[in-house]
């Protein structure tokens, strides 16, 4: 079988982190430590694990992780008040509200309360709009990770047909916009798409973001496609049927060890960049 290119997310994530170390050292010389505030509402075990992983990743790099754990019974108004408090805290550079929140909370309203300059997870509608227009500073972290992998392996999307399967506001839609801004021809598919298999067979780049384990089959993709699997389902299973897609693809991300580690590194990168920006703004104010 022809040798396939396995797109190693751990290698890409380490590359990003190594670049960040110098930026963090430079900030330290100015008396600044990048700080990410993570808000967890309730006691969902998966969410607790994700928040802990993100906190540990921060601390390993020298980014301060400020963890706020709120009761599952908190009201929307009280959650908004906490977010506004963090917006005003000059020592906090990034704010992450762990999804999902309990059903009685207005999640979208909570996301929209995060200040745009601290929206390092790319969840506000303003951040999404800026991403779509091509000047967003902090796109959603998983779409940013997909482009980071493409950049690391020197894949140029220009003129290629990219098919994105999924249209969530923090993954499918923003990654479609990012690829379009790189001059790819983008088709965004979803649960109402007809003839999905035929559309995928035309794709040079496949982005799987549908949230269904082993959903995309090898016979659905064309020979030599680049397959980026952003799915993560129970049992460490992605959205593509890895073995069958591996036989057809030129390059593919594994699950785990593909897009996931790079997503976390993008969160760290955005937090460091937000700290750098706050320092520049502070310098202008003092001059």
What is the pLDDT averaged over residues 139-155? Answer: 98
Vertex 33, ends 27 and 36: CA angle to 5°? 125
Per-residue model confidence as pLDDT tens digits over 252-266: 999 999 999 999 999
- Nearest-Å Rg of the Cα atoms of the chain is 19
With a CB cutoff of 8 Å and minimum separation 6, the contacts of 209 are 142, 164, 165, 166, 168, 171, 172, 175, 230, 231, 239
Collapsed DSSP state (helix, strand, coil) of residue 13:
helix
Give the separation between CA 213 and CA 220, rounded to whole angstroms: 15
What is the reported pLDDT for 3? 77
Q: List active site positions.
A: 54, 98, 121
Q: Pairing mode, if any, of strands 64-70 and 35-41?
A: parallel
Q: pLDDT averaged over the chain?
A: 95
The tally of CA atoms less than 13 A away on the side-chain side of residue 276 is: 14
- Distance, first Cα to last Cα, the chain: 63
Residue 81 has pLDDT above 80, yes or no: yes
* Whether the predicted pLDDT of 283 surpasses 60: yes
The pLDDT score that the predictor gives to residue 286 is: 60
| Overall average pLDDT of the 156-174 stretch | 97
Please give the helix or strand (H or E) that residue 15 lies within, else none. Answer: helix 9-29
3 Cβ neighbours under 8 A, 6+ residues apart: none
- All CATH 3.40.50.10860 domain ranges of the chain, comma separated, are 32-115
DSSP 216: B
**pLDDT of 107 above 90:** yes
- The model's pTM: 0.95
pLDDT at residue 284 tops 70 = no
| Residue range(s) occupied by CATH 3.40.50.720 in the chain | 141-259
Categorize the per-residue pLDDT at 275 as very low, low, confident or very high, splitting at 50, 70 and 90.
Answer: very high
- Phi and psi at residue 83, in whole multiples of 5°? -65, -45
Q: Does domain 32-115 have CATH number 3.40.50.10860?
A: yes
Integer Cα distance of 225 and 17 in angstroms: 28
Gap between the Cα atoms of 201 and 225, Å rounded: 9
pLDDT mean over 29-37 = 97
Which of 119, 179, 181 is closest to 143 using CA atoms? 179
Query: Which residues are within 8 A (CB) of 285 and not within 5 positions of it... i.e. 6 or more apart?
Result: none
How far apart CA 182 and CA 207 sit, in angstroms, is 15
Contact between residue 55 and residue 65 where contact means Cβ atoms under 8 Å apart: yes
**Chosen CATH of 141-259 out of 3.30.565.10, 1.10.3720.10, 3.40.50.300, 3.40.50.720:** 3.40.50.720
In whole angstroms, how far apart are CA 2 and each of 55, 156, 218? Answer: 40, 22, 15
Phi and psi, residue 48, nearest 5°? -60, -40
Mean pLDDT of 269-273: 98
* Rounded Cα gap, residues 187 and 86, in angstroms: 38
């Amino acid at each position: 079988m022809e040798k396939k290119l396995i797109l190693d997310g751990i290698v890409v994530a380490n590359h990003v982190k190594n670049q960040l170390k110098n930026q963090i050292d430079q900030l330290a010389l100015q008396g600044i430590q990048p700080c990410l505030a993570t808000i967890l509402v309730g006691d969902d075990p998966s969410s607790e694990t994700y928040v802990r992983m993100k906190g540990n990743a921060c601390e390993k790099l020298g980014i301060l992780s400020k963890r706020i754990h709120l009761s599952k019974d908190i009201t929307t108004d009280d959650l908004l008040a906490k977010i506004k408090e963090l917006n005003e805290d000059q020592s906090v550079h990034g704010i992450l509200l762990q999804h999902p929140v309990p059903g009685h909370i207005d999640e979208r309203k909570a996301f929209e309360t995060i200040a745009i300059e601290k929206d390092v997870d790319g969840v506000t509608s303003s951040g999404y709009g800026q991403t779509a227009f091509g000047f967003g500073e902090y796109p959603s972290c998983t779409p940013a990770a997909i482009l980071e992998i493409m950049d690391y392996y020197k894949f140029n999307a220009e003129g290629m047909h990219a098919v994105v399967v999924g249209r969530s506001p923090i993954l499918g839609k923003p990654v479609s916009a990012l690829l379009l801004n790189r001059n790819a021809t983008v088709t965004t598919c979803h649960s109402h798409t007809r003839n999905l298999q035929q559309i995928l067979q035309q794709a040079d780049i496949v982005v799987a973001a549908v949230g269904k384990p082993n959903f995309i089959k090898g016979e659905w993709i064309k020979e030599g496609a680049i397959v980026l699997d952003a799915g993560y389902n129970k049992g460490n299973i992605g959205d593509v049927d890895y073995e069958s897609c591996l036989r057809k693809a030129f390059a593919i991300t594994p699950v785990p060890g593909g897009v996931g580690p790079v997503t976390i590194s993008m969160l760290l990168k955005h937090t460091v960049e937000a700290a750098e920006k706050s320092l520049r703004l502070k310098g202008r104010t003092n001059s």
